[in-house]
Amino acid sequence: CFCLLEWVCPTLAAMENEVLFRDSRDIQPLPEIYEEAKLKNSNMYKQVPDAKYVACPEDIWQPEPSAADEAENTEVKVKTKTQLMMERLKVKMVLVLDHNISLILVFVMTFWALFAEDIMLSVPIQKTVDRPFAYVSLVFLIIFGIEQIARSFAVPEYFGSFFWLMELVANASMVTSLGPIIFNAKSCLEGFVDLSTLSGLSAGSRLARVMRLLRVIRVLRVFNSCSKLRNPENATQKNQQSAIGKALNEKLVRSMILIVIALQLIFPLLSFDEVDDSRTLTFQMLVNARNFSTPEVFDNMIAAYKFFGENTQSGDPYGPKPYDTAFRTLLRISFGPWAQVYYNGVADPTYVKCFSNRSDSFLDCPQLYADSYRCTDLDFISMTTANGEEAEAIWEEQHYDMYIAQYNITLACLLIVIILVMYTALSSDVTSMVVQPIESMVGLVKKLSENPNYQLEGQSKSKYETEAVRIALAKIVGLMQLGFGGAGHEIISANLANEEKPGLDLMLRGKKKDCAYGFCDIRQFTDTVECLQDQVMLFTNSVGEIVHQSCHDNRGEPNKNIGDAFLIVWRPISIGDHSKVVDGALTAFRRCVREIASSQTLQLVTNVEAIHKKFGRNKYRTKLGFGLHFGWSVEGPVGSPTKIDCSYLSPEVKISDRLEAATKIYSSNILMSGQFYDLLSDHIKVGIRLIDHVTLKGGVKPFRIYADDRSNLWLKINPRLVEIYGAEAAYEQFSKTFHEGIDAFIKGDWSTAQQKLEGARDFCPKDAPTLLLMKEMKKRSIDPVTPTAPVDWKGYHDSEV
């Protein structure tokens, strides 16, 4: 006999007057040729209505309307509308505050608050710019305050937080920059105590340094803002940062700020700072010597006081010296009515009234003093002599203040660099080692909730615990996907997306779907298990690998493994996808037949002595039967909270099982229903023939059964006819003759059917469908000589399938 393992038949030409029987419902009828046949014999096809294939609608649950009264509903609507408006306002405010223009403005204002005052003091510029500088600082302070208030409103968790308090203190520290607006710039004598306090603050006192340091906090925000402007992709990821990432970064910044502040406060307490009181003590000695010295001696003492007080290292205390080399310079010294004013380091009687007017300190002073010196540049030393006279020395410390301002700028820059380096280094380590792995796992869970088929990227080694957790997560997800299968996607997605319920929600409502079902079974499995014993798992898994991989490559989803049987489901995405689905299902099973027949692994596993004794030496072949059907089913979980299986429930699913069982009767590897066949593409239908029209056991609905001769290992053609016609022509003639025979069988013309089927038997003497039809006609014929259909013949018969 000639075995048609890889035979490919050309497209069968439709014969004139050829009529194919249709299922009673849910099938699209054939066009012209079907209509002509129906007109000729309407009684034969009166049970066939027009098909109406409609996709299953999605089950959508809608809540019942509330029973609350109209007034309550109106109040709720008003509240909801107000809340919605507030939420929209907050979102818009956050967008404005985080806009690029706003971030650039904060960048400019932050560095103004940090450096503007010190830059103004670090260079010798006229004090007329003080008030404009102060007004700019006032405007920026107001903007900072508005920003803080707006952010507190838009982001409730920001209000009262650590950063909110630090911003508040940083804003308060800017008040020290408003001296030219708050105090009278001309009067240095009336408020010289307050002015000296401000001078101490701006000169670098400990409290001022700490308060100024708090402004550096804004630099972190500016740094993040610049990062967003440079890399928008990172900015998007920042906006989607996880809660743990935000919390860790906030704690990191908070710890760094507190540590730096603590160091600024504690280190000065642990170190010995020698206070320079030399000018005050020397002036005290000068005051004491006022009443006990001659005028010449006292003048020499004043000259020495002036010389050494200006920190001159060498030179004649009684001779001239360069004025601009002095670190501090004496401007005025007075004892009661006597006063001496120095201009360019030389006593000048012209300006003897300088600094004597309390309402305008710079009245009658040199223009240089009035234009250049600020009240904060002056150090007032005031004492009372033994005879009750007021003694006063006024020192100019502008150069010293310039040095302190330059020191503050350097310190602020150093602190900014230290904080940014610390933040970048620590944040990078924390992010890469903790935050990113956790966020990656959270992202994977979200992706799995959206697409349960998402495949996690593998990782071979784990250096840290977080990587080990991710590897374990990938394995758990893989096992979960394998265990639940395609039918369990809904359960996986629903439970991963639901963050409110701590437990599992397994009892979900099922969904009705139109699917293609494929059922396959391993032949002679019981005897094979007895022979293979502990090798049966290798055998079964080898078969399962071939079946699953073939179906997976053709969009199939393995659903059930029942020892020797497998259920595969093909789920269409849309109505237009039905044809592609059934094409893929048949292609997958055709591939299974070929690969199982040629599998070296299965041949090695079954090449054991027990198999040879049971089935004969080299006679055992691994064979499977396949059944295909298309219909509806309900997809969902089946079971209890203790154990569930995700499956498809419907009588339609069972039909594929019944068709697979019929492969033993019809001696065919692949059988399919009429519903499945009618959805196949024309080029896929080549090599498929209608072999029977029956009702399944216990049913009343007739089904057309089709066999795939392309993958039928039992189909043998008479070799003598192969030599005469050739393989392809011989099969074509066989198929044509058989088709005429079964068509006559269905119509009730059994005498013609008998003739045609006998002709088909000549081509394939052992073709099971041919023999079964002839046996059925002989069994039910009302005439023992000439096959005649019963009077109540409806075109189909009962079967044991």
Q: Which residue has the higher pLDDT, 552 or 248?
A: 552
The residue-averaged pLDDT of 470-490 equals 71
pLDDT for 114 beyond 70: yes
pLDDT for 165 beyond 90: no
| Per-residue buried b or exposed e for 610-622, using 16+ beta carbons within 10 Å of the residue's own CB | ebeeebeeeebeb
pLDDT for 693 beyond 90: yes
pLDDT band at 39 (very low <50, low <70, confident <90, very high): very low
Distances (CA, A) of 682 to 103, 287, 579, 687: 64, 121, 10, 11
Q: Which residue has the higher pLDDT, 236 or 580?
A: 580
Under 8 Å between Cβ of 745 and 753: yes
Q: Which residue is it, tokens 């065919």?
A: 668
Q: Which stretches within 667-749 are classed as H helix?
A: 674-678, 719-725, 727-747
Instruction: Out of 190-194, 306-310, 645-649, pick the least confident.
Output: 190-194
The residue-averaged pLDDT of 679-694 equals 93
**What would the pLDDT profile of 755-792 be if each residue is shown by its tens digit?**
999 999 999 999 999 999 999 999 999 988 888 999 98
The residue-averaged pLDDT of 294-299 equals 84
Q: Which residue has the higher pLDDT, 434 or 566?
A: 566
Q: Which two tokens stand for residue 487?
A: 């039918």
pLDDT for 375 beyond 70: yes
pLDDT band at 48 (very low <50, low <70, confident <90, very high): very low
The Cβ-side half-sphere exposure at 412, using a 13 Å CA radius, reads: 29
Mean pLDDT, the chain, whole residue set: 76
- How far is Cα 214 from Cα 422, in angstroms, rounded to an integer? 16
Nearest to 770 by CA among 700, 718, 724, 695: 718
pLDDT for 518 beyond 90: yes
Instruction: Out of 87-101, 118-132, 736-750, pick the least confident.
Output: 118-132
Q: Which residue is it, tokens 């050829």?
A: 18
**Residue 321 has what DSSP assignment?**
-
Residue 195 confidence (pLDDT) = 39
Q: Which residue has the higher pLDDT, 378 or 632?
A: 632
- How far is Cα 676 from Cα 587, in angstroms, rounded to an integer? 13
Instruction: Out of 409-413, 447-451, 698-702, 765-769, pick the least confident.
Output: 447-451
pLDDT band at 125 (very low <50, low <70, confident <90, very high): confident
Nearest to 49 by CA among 33, 28, 21: 28
- CA 449 vs. chain centroid, Å, equals 11
The Cβ-side half-sphere exposure at 152, using a 13 Å CA radius, reads: 15
- CA 86 vs. chain centroid, Å, equals 28
- How far is Cα 148 from Cα 751, in angstroms, rounded to an integer? 98
**Residue 29 has what DSSP assignment?**
P
pLDDT for 237 beyond 70: no
Instruction: Out of 16-30, 322-336, 612-626, 660-674, pick the least confident.
Output: 16-30
Distances (CA, A) of 243 to 111, 240, 469, 759: 30, 9, 19, 79
Residue 643 confidence (pLDDT) = 76
Residue 268 confidence (pLDDT) = 66
Under 8 Å between Cβ of 147 and 171: no
pLDDT for 333 beyond 80: yes
Q: Which residue has the higher pLDDT, 315 or 9?
A: 315
pLDDT for 88 beyond 90: no
pLDDT band at 515 (very low <50, low <70, confident <90, very high): very high
Instruction: Out of 24-33, 154-163, 415-424, pick the least confident.
Output: 24-33
The residue-averaged pLDDT of 552-575 equals 88
**Residue 522 has what DSSP assignment?**
E
- Delimit the domains of the chain by residue range: 84-270, 278-399, 511-798
Q: Which two tokens stand for residue 593?
A: 């037949």
Residue 26 confidence (pLDDT) = 37
The residue-averaged pLDDT of 460-488 equals 71
What is the CATH T-level fold of the domain 511-798, as seen in this structure? Alpha-Beta Plaits (3.30.70)
The residue-averaged pLDDT of 572-601 equals 90
Instruction: Out of 262-271, 330-339, 566-575, pick the least confident.
Output: 262-271
Q: Which two tokens stand for residue 386?
A: 């033994």
pLDDT band at 274 (very low <50, low <70, confident <90, very high): low
pLDDT for 388 beyond 70: yes
Identify each DSSP E strand in 547-665 by its residue range.
557-562, 565-570, 624-640, 643-649
Sign, CA torsion 713/714/719/723 = negative
Beta bridge partner(s), residue 522: 624
Residue 402 confidence (pLDDT) = 84
pLDDT for 796 beyond 90: yes
Highest mean pLDDT among 251-260, 514-523, 567-576: 514-523
